[in-house]
Structure 1
Amino acid sequence: MTYITTSNLYWDRFELDKLKEMPFTDSEVEKCTVKKGDLLVCEGGDIGRAAIWNYDYPMRIQNHIHRLRSYSEVDVYYFYYIFFLYKSAGLIGGKGIGIQGLSSNALDKLLLPVPPLEEQHRIVAKIDELLPYIEKYGKAEEHLTALNTTFSEALKKSILQEAVQGKLVPQNPDDEPASVLLERIRAEKQALIKAGKIKKDKHESVIVARDKIPYEIIDGKERYIADEVPFELPESWCWCRISNLFSVGTGMTPLKSEDKYYKNATVPWVNSSQTSQRYIKDVDTHITEYALENNSLVLYEPHTLIVAMYGQGKTRGQVSELLIPATVNQACAALTAITYSQDMIEYVYYFFVYNYEIMRKKAEGTSQPNLNIQKIKDIILPLPPLAEQKRIVEKIEELMQYCDKL
């Protein structure tokens, strides 16, 4: 014979597409059979969950379901709503003073308010009348709660989007154009390469615009890159790659078993988990000067941007600014400005925050969804005039304070 379990019984309904079968003795059939109008209540599973059997045919139940059948005429729906109330209020299957289980003994001891039959009918009728409004209010409340939870972060994203599109602050025609700033950085980069302080890029990128359409010149060859830029820029802005503004490096993990790399260590060593904070002021791990000198490590200066190339959960794509000299592990990209400007560093920091989801997608499609140094170098970003970068950062930080209070 087929029978229902607690997994078939839901509030005010049954799911009967997956019924189990087992043999029943004659005495068990009498004890375990329900008929139309019986109130069924879960003893196990979601304790106290109830539904009324309103089918014209009988059904068997497992021993973890209580069958409630009145001795005299009652409005079964009234008692169904009592169980719904008790469950919602934590009086059944809840914590504290509520009944933790619902055995037959516990059910016998359950106190129920019993109004006259006619009043039971009126109560059920009023509940049925109000229920659609309650459900509508519940959905509206869920939507409002979700909105309240996500509104602040959504607003922050909108602010950053406006910022990198040149819509957050007005342009000033007296500002030195970003193209002039970029040429100055290129000249400084060539001087650093000539001095042997940084390595020359194998394929230096120069992005130019003609009729507002961007083209990239690499190794003397020009290519159309309008499909890489998601929006038009103000007249005084320009597109560039991260490698046009920063020298991008990384680090490694000295052998953990080597005492001389870690004993009495004083050199800060950053891992990708520390990019969850705006600034890196301190670290959990230090290495020795010996480790720094005998491994592929660089001591990066304060105001280097650290980008997590891989890590658990939300780590990949996070960015932080060093406030101390530090080395990094292989999971971090270290961005050192070719020409130091705190305004530019802070603007690029906020660009990375804006670009977080886009950058994470660049790492997808492989069994190990990681970023790498080349992917970081190739990131294309909108560059405002330096004076406007300062105004943008000031406005972002002013507005973010209000977002944090929401």
Structure 2
Amino acid sequence: MGSIGDWGAGATPAKGNSDYYGGNILWLRTGELNNGVVYDTEIKITEKALQECSLRLNKAGDVLIAMYGATIGKVAIAGNEMTSNQACCACTPFGVFNYYLFYYLMGSQMDFIKKGEGGAQPNISREKLISHLMPIPPLNEQYRIVKQIQKILPLIEMYSASQDTQDKLNAEINEKLKKSILQEAIQGKLVPQIEKEGTAQELLEQIKQEKQKLVKEGKLKKSALTDSVIFKGDDNKYWEKVGKGLRCIDDEIHFEIPASWQWVRIKDIFQINPKNIADDNCISAFIPMEKICATYGSEFSYDEVQWKTIKTGYTHFADGDVVFAKITPCFQNRKSVIFIGLPNGIGAGSTELKVMRPYGETINRWYLLYFLKSPYFIDEAQFKGTANQQRIITGYLENKFFPLPPKSEQDKIVEQIKQLASIMSR
């Protein structure tokens, strides 16, 4: 390459000399090389600096290449007269079209990086540049090559942008599909409605009977029987009745559900954070937060311990309970599971867990779990606390509106989602 031009590096005027800076001569640093044409520089120097610091003044059209550090091999064409720092080498070509040299250097960047030496600050040196072998076609062919490159480059950039968009879509599509499937599921759009399968109102009666049974057994407070009743009035708005109180909640209902479904408050159809009673020496499961996997499924592990070591200071749960993390970012990462197969059917774990226990077999636990992983539950949550330790606000879970389908439809929704396992497990 030394045969096709005049090559020379720049220099850096003494930083402490104010007579050298603030002039009108462009002084380029390698970070400003842009694999295109450079017309301006951030720093300008004076005529005195040019004369006293042995700086080479490059002509407009000269080809520039970085010789040192992270920018090694980056190139540009000088759009105006300019000088440069010592990490940049410039070539005034003769007998070679400057754009042909420019594109050749750009295409050879990896070769120059491989030739770099020097550990933390690799360099290719002027000597290595001028000794580098370069193929030279006839001048007219150089022009044709450059013309073709300039015709193709915009297409490359266009297709590169399209590829970037496609790569981004491919990276996001599985997550978006999972969220979409769960949202469709809890809105009653995933499986067809079949009238003979009953209504959620009938299911609410079963839940009421289960609660009355627990109250009689002394396992549930009588206040749990005071449920709200949510209905759509003649004005086509949603209303909630609690005791003698009645208020419009239309603004709080965010989507429509099938006629056979029912909007309910979570606190009315689940026990929240129930307690276990067991012998002190009973072997049970200890499950800290790190034992719960952040997935769209239900995966966890546990340590076996005696109940007396964890019965206080931890959150209780039992086989069949559905739990989720109430703290960020575990909440958003969907750390929620169904506990099954615990030693002696009981366990305890992180106080950052919320536990939900259906009344009897009225709610398909997988339907509940998918609800907890749905965008409706995750994205609408409100938090309090410091930036690094935020938890869902008190009452968010208990007062959240729950779209309740008939039990048979819950089962079909779960079956349908599990048939999409190839999507949900990715």
| TM-score computed with the length of structure 1 as normaliser | 0.83
5+ residue gaps, structure 2: 1-20
**Structure 1 equivalent of residue 11 of structure 2:** none
5+ residue gaps, structure 1: 252-260
**Structure 2 equivalent of residue 362 of structure 1:** 382
Closer, same or farther: CA 21–353 of 1 in aligned 2, 3 Å = farther
Map 1:1-400 → 2, pairs under 5 A? 1=21, 3-14=27-38, 16=40, 18-19=42-43, 24=49, 26-31=51-56, 33-43=57-67, 44-55=69-80, 58-70=81-93, 72-87=94-109, 90-93=110-113, 99=116, 101-104=122-125, 105-199=127-221, 200=223, 204-211=227-234, 212-249=236-273, 267-273=284-290, 274-277=292-295, 278-283=297-302, 285=303, 287-293=305-311, 295-297=312-314, 299-312=316-329, 317-323=334-340, 324=342, 325-341=346-362, 344-355=364-375, 358-359=378-379, 361-363=381-383, 367=387, 368-372=389-393, 374-400=395-421
Shift of the alpha carbon at 1:250?
8.0
Structure 1 runs (4+) greater than 6 angstroms displaced: none
Between the aligned partners of 1:34 and 1:27, the Cα distance in structure 2 is 16
Shift of the alpha carbon at 1:124?
0.3
Shift of the alpha carbon at 1:265?
10
Q: Please say if residues 250 and 334 of structure 1, whose CA atoms lie closer than 8 Å, have aligned partners that are also in contact.
A: yes
After superposition, give the CA deviation of every residue in 1:241-276 in whole Å (9 maximum; x if it has no partner): 22122111289xxxxxxxxx9xx9953222334141
Q: Please say if residues 287 and 350 of structure 2, whose CA atoms lie closer than 8 Å, have aligned partners that are also in contact.
A: yes
Closer, same or farther: CA 16–379 of 1 in aligned 2, 3 Å = farther
Shift of the alpha carbon at 1:185?
0.8
Closer, same or farther: CA 311–369 of 1 in aligned 2, 3 Å = closer
SS at match of 2:71: coil
Which amino acid in the other structure matches residue 19 of structure 1? I
Between the aligned partners of 2:95 and 2:331, the Cα distance in structure 1 is 60
After superposition, give the CA deviation of every residue in 1:30-50 in whole Å (9 maximum; x if it has no partner): 43x222011111223322111
Closer, same or farther: CA 334–393 of 1 in aligned 2, 3 Å = same
Between the aligned partners of 2:407 and 2:142, the Cα distance in structure 1 is 75
Q: Please say if residues 332 and 378 of structure 2, whose CA atoms lie closer than 8 Å, have aligned partners that are also in contact.
A: no
Q: Please say if residues 99 and 106 of structure 1, whose CA atoms lie closer than 8 Å, have aligned partners that are also in contact.
A: no
Between the aligned partners of 1:25 and 1:401, the Cα distance in structure 2 is 67
**Structure 2 equivalent of residue 254 of structure 1:** none
Q: Please say if residues 271 and 357 of structure 2, whose CA atoms lie closer than 8 Å, have aligned partners that are also in contact.
A: yes
Q: Please say if residues 363 and 370 of structure 1, whose CA atoms lie closer than 8 Å, have aligned partners that are also in contact.
A: yes
Structure with higher Rg: it is: 2
SS at match of 1:326: strand
Which amino acid in the other structure matches residue 78 of structure 2? W
Between the aligned partners of 1:304 and 1:142, the Cα distance in structure 2 is 43
Percent identity for Structure 1 against Structure 2: 28
Q: Please say if residues 271 and 331 of structure 1, whose CA atoms lie closer than 8 Å, have aligned partners that are also in contact.
A: no
SS at match of 1:230: coil
Which amino acid in the other structure matches residue 194 of structure 2? N
Between the aligned partners of 1:192 and 1:316, the Cα distance in structure 2 is 35
Between the aligned partners of 2:282 and 2:59, the Cα distance in structure 1 is 77
Closer, same or farther: CA 280–194 of 1 in aligned 2, 3 Å = farther
Closer, same or farther: CA 357–175 of 1 in aligned 2, 3 Å = closer
SS at match of 2:324: strand
Q: RMSD of the TM alignment (CA)?
A: 3.1
Closer, same or farther: CA 308–170 of 1 in aligned 2, 3 Å = same
Between the aligned partners of 1:172 and 1:344, the Cα distance in structure 2 is 18
Between the aligned partners of 1:363 and 1:145, the Cα distance in structure 2 is 33
Which amino acid in the other structure matches residue 76 of structure 2? A
SS at match of 1:144: helix
Between the aligned partners of 2:286 and 2:37, the Cα distance in structure 1 is 59
Between the aligned partners of 1:353 and 1:15, the Cα distance in structure 2 is 54
Stretch deviating more after TM superposition (150-159 or 104-113): 104-113
Between the aligned partners of 2:301 and 2:392, the Cα distance in structure 1 is 25
Closer, same or farther: CA 308–13 of 1 in aligned 2, 3 Å = farther
Shift of the alpha carbon at 1:390?
0.8
